[in-house]
Amino acid sequence: MSSGEAIQIAAVGVGETEYVRRGAAPLAELVVEACSRALTDAGLSPSDVDGIVTEANSMPQQAPADMVQTALGIKERRFTAHSGVWGAGIVGAAQMARLAIQSGQADVVLTYFGVDFGSSPGGPYALHAVDPLKASLEMPVGWYGQPLYFASIAQRYAYEYGLRPEQLGELAIAARKHAALTPGALRPQALDLEGYLASPMIAEPLRAADCCLVNDGAAAVVYTSLERARDLAKDPVVVAGVGTASAPISQSSYFTQHRNYLGTPATLSSQKAFGEAGLSIDEVDFAEIYDCFTITDIMQIEDLGFCGKGEGAAFVEGGRTGPGGAMPINTHGGSLAHSYLLGANHVVEAVRQLRHERGSGQVAKAEVGLVAGLGVPDHTTLLLTVDR
């Protein structure tokens, strides 16, 4: 590598806990377990780690870096950073890890994320209940809860472009098929169109099958330089490009005052990632897209560039996103059928796909994977490739 050439980094280890609907272990304990498994997967020890990056919203309070360092036995933590919000943050942790490694601030960076929504009071609903704006202005009139927020977006999408239940059902059915091929997935039971249409309506037009799981669990990813990665236990997965972007609005106001109601910052984050990687959307072999609800997939499919605006619902028809489809999406089952970890498990799955470790769930000849993380108002697009 020449002195003027930027250091490339790679994912070298991934780990995750068992995912359970409701568990007894504290969240911090789950995080430490996932981190330990990621280091073992990489063939590294805690003493090799000198950097930690997490998302910025929950992990600094629920599993802070100093606690994780102490529990694992990391000797020296030279670099600590927190990336963006929720799903965008944990996917975007790769960007912070790269900056640390390229600048010489760290050699091995550990990233992690966990949730205990299944066992904590209020689950994901509690995230917004503590927001003074929502508590004062939105909740008293019944405007509350993530299914309602995204159902409103789906209704607007249907008004603007047309949206049939069968199109949403395509994504839910494909997620179940992927989950059936993934050990540890929480919702691997088969689903057909009849079963989808019989699924209880939660917030019209979103049925239960359109909604993500609620569970406990944690996942971790280890990054280091590509040069060092080539000497480690597993084939390195190269961070080819990563882009982050944010809508110009607060999280509190996003679902009531966001003017680009049917858009996401994926339009910007994807441009950055593809430009940096020197790749085109046609070169992507599979995608792991943040999917708290089926409509979220459709919006990002459009904004990432797989199709034009208003064409996403038609794009997913015909089993395109399922196993063996032209564009497999959320190949582990995603948040709808594998586990809801706000995208951390999506990164783990992408790494395993590019190592060709997924057995019957493997995407044939996979060389380029895309991971999209949404955490309103933020978004991250991460492009991963095999070591070429």
Q: Which residues are catalytic?
A: 290, 340
Q: Find out whether 285 and 369 touch, Cβ atoms under 8 Å.
A: yes
Residues with Cβ within 8 Å of 298's Cβ and at least 6 positions away in sequence, in order, are: 157, 167, 168, 171, 312, 313, 315, 316
State how far Cα 124 lies from the chain centre: 16
The percent of the chain in helix, strand and coil, each rounded to the nearest 5, is 40, 20, 40
H or E stretch including 288? strand 286-289
Position 78, amino acid: R
Question: Helices 294-304 and 165-179: crossing angle, nearest 10°?
Answer: 90
| Number of helices and strands in the chain (H, E) | 16, 11
What's CA 316's distance to the chain center, in Å?
A: 19
Per the CB < 8 A criterion, the answer to whether 218 and 208 are in contact is no
Distances 73 to 25, 32, 69, 241, 367 between C-alpha atoms, Å? 20, 11, 6, 31, 35
